[in-house]
Chain A
Amino acid sequence: MQNKRSIRGKVAIVGVGQSPSGRVPGRSPLDLTADATLKALADAGMDKSEIDGVLTGNAFASSFHRFSVALSEYLNIQPSFSNTLQVSGATAGAAVNIAAAAINGGLADTVLVACGDSLLTGMTPDMAIRAMTESRDQQYEMPFGIPVANTFAMTAQRHMKEYGTTSEQLAQVAVTFREHARRTPGAQKTDSITVEDVLNSKMVTTPYHKLDCSLISDGAVALILTSAEKAHEYTQEPIYILGGGEYYSHEHIFLMPELTQTGAVQAAKKAYEMAGVTAKDIDVAGIYDCFTGTVLMMLEDLGFCKKGESGPFVEAGEITYGGAIPTNTHGGMLSYAHPGIPAAWFHFAEVVRQLRNSCGERQVASAELGLVHTLGAGFSTQATTILGTGSTL
């Protein structure tokens, strides 16, 4: 049953911009995010004076606690709605959902949803990983030396045990996204890889090899959202928010109810119901790909395949062109860029471009409905957003 109070079709993404990403030395997170914002404004054909709301995530390589407020000052804008959100990897989806709700609720007319960080060159790799690990509990998790990678690794290990998922099937996710990245200008990794290359890369934390893990990058993305009424005033075809859903099932990995089924089930259910669509209707997806196994579990929990069948699903080519659900056509965090919290913003940028039919040689034919699923902190935080062209309203 559709919730009476809904954001379906009320708000659209009218501007998308991104800074250079990958290795971008000498540029601060604020600088990168401002760069992305100016490009998003140019993309929309909008003046910055129209932005009256700003939502961001935080940057590890920046000392500002209120990144959204610091970014506003940097751009010399004075919004009447602002927040710096923190739900780890799900911040991107949560920010888009909240921006849509804020616009629909009258708190703002036009919201900048942006994030940037310089994890690769703004910090040493050890400091970057350390920053990530510090998001685990200081009493009950971190003393045992459990990196965030390890929480995801333990869920993947259990998935392999319960469903017979193989290391080769995990590796196929990395290989597929690498092929996607090879078609995407600006991708950080574009050398072709094989399943054997993934299996032969250094072990990080079992079952994850180096090439099963996302990159470390610099970069920023900005999205501009406005009301459906105003959306036609700008240059680009508006891409509408059709549904949003989130779920927060636990904080500690040891309190995750089941290691092989996540809160993405509930988040997606809410988003699908609001949008009035099902997984079968989705043409293109952006799925948070911090690790290869994360994608497998999400394909199941988002309803693209049955529980336990994601391994064969990926091996059969279902997440690339011509398959059931072309996913991360930009290459994802595994091959395009992973600047930390901003990483999932790139999934939004790509799905919007796919729905605008502006992806050139990596265009998914007649894509009208898109899904972006972002998550974080060992599957603690989950946010789904359904996007669509005007024809889907």
Chain B
Amino acid sequence: MSEQKVGVEEALKKPLPTPDGDSQPMWDGFKEGKLLLQHCGDCGHVQYYQQGICRNCQSPNLQHQKASGRGVIHSYSVVHRAPGPAFRDDVPYAVLLVELEEGPRMISRLVGQDFDSLDFDLPVRLETIKVSDELFLPYFALNECN
């Protein structure tokens, strides 16, 4: 019975990332408002998410570099039914598939609820959102000039 109780409590909590050896620098970067991408010192490939090796040439020679924070909306979906109790207070919200200026795509969320302005290939810019002292999440906002 106690196991079930834990299950319900767990369901009410938002799933938060637990940084690992590959990703710790990136999560640290968000605390300073920066998105760090991995650049391969051998083949020049730029990647997100963070790995121990380059996805293109498997070299371990990777450096974190600050991204411009600019990108465009490759696709999106406005969530009206929460994917679990933890997100019930958030709906409606827009999940974005952002294509970064440097090439990689990433999953993120729109700052605010201006869903009528959402469109494909629309420019967006990074905004890190504080979740706790230890954790900031990378969201994206529509450019004001849109």
A contacts, CB < 8 Å to B: 126-127, 129-130, 132-134, 138-150, 153-155, 157-158, 161, 202-208, 252-255, 259
User: Is the C-beta of B106 less than 8 angstroms from some C-beta in chain A?
Assistant: yes
List 6 A–B pairs whose Cβ atoms lie within 8 Å, in order of A's numbering. Answer: A126-B11, A130-B84, A130-B85, A138-B15, A140-B107, A147-B84
Chain B residues, Cβ within 8 Å of A138 = 15, 17-18
- A38 to B146 CA separation, bound complex (whole angstroms): 62
- A40 to B90 CA separation, bound complex (whole angstroms): 46
B18, B48, B82: the one contacting A145 at CB < 8 Å is B82
Closest CB in chain B relative to A144 CB, distance in Å: 5
Question: In the bound complex, do residue A255 and residue B105 qualify as a contact, i.e. CB atoms below 8 Å apart?
Answer: yes
- A153 to B81 CA separation, bound complex (whole angstroms): 13
Chain A residues, Cβ within 8 Å of B78 = 203, 205-206
Closest CB in chain B relative to A61 CB, distance in Å: 12
Question: In the bound complex, do residue A133 and residue B84 qualify as a contact, i.e. CB atoms below 8 Å apart?
Answer: yes
Question: In the bound complex, do residue B95 and residue A150 qualify as a contact, i.e. CB atoms below 8 Å apart?
Answer: yes
Q: How many residues of B contact A (CB 8 A)?
A: 37
Chain A residues, Cβ within 8 Å of B1 = none
Residue-by-residue, is B61-90 near A (CB-CB < 8 Å gives 1, otherwise 0)?
000000000000011111111111101001
Q: Besides the contacts A144-B107, A145-B83, A148-B83, what 18 more A-B pairs have beta carbons closer than 8 Å? A: A130-B84, A138-B18, A139-B20, A139-B23, A142-B15, A143-B15, A144-B95, A145-B87, A150-B95, A154-B76, A202-B81, A205-B77, A206-B77, A206-B78, A254-B97, A254-B104, A254-B105, A255-B105
Question: In the bound complex, do residue B80 and residue A127 qualify as a contact, i.e. CB atoms below 8 Å apart?
Answer: no
Q: A155 with B75: in contact, given A143-B17, A204-B81 (CB under 8 Å)?
A: yes
Q: A157 with B75: in contact, given A144-B107, A144-B137, A145-B87 (CB under 8 Å)?
A: yes
Q: A126 with B85: in contact, given A204-B80, A252-B49, A254-B48 (CB under 8 Å)?
A: yes
Question: In the bound complex, do residue B77 and residue A203 qualify as a contact, i.e. CB atoms below 8 Å apart?
Answer: no
- A254 to B76 CA separation, bound complex (whole angstroms): 12
Closest CB in chain B relative to A122 CB, distance in Å: 12
Q: Pick the 3 closest A-B CB pairs, nearest first.
A: A147-B83, A153-B77, A130-B84
Chain A residue with minimal CB distance to B48?
A254
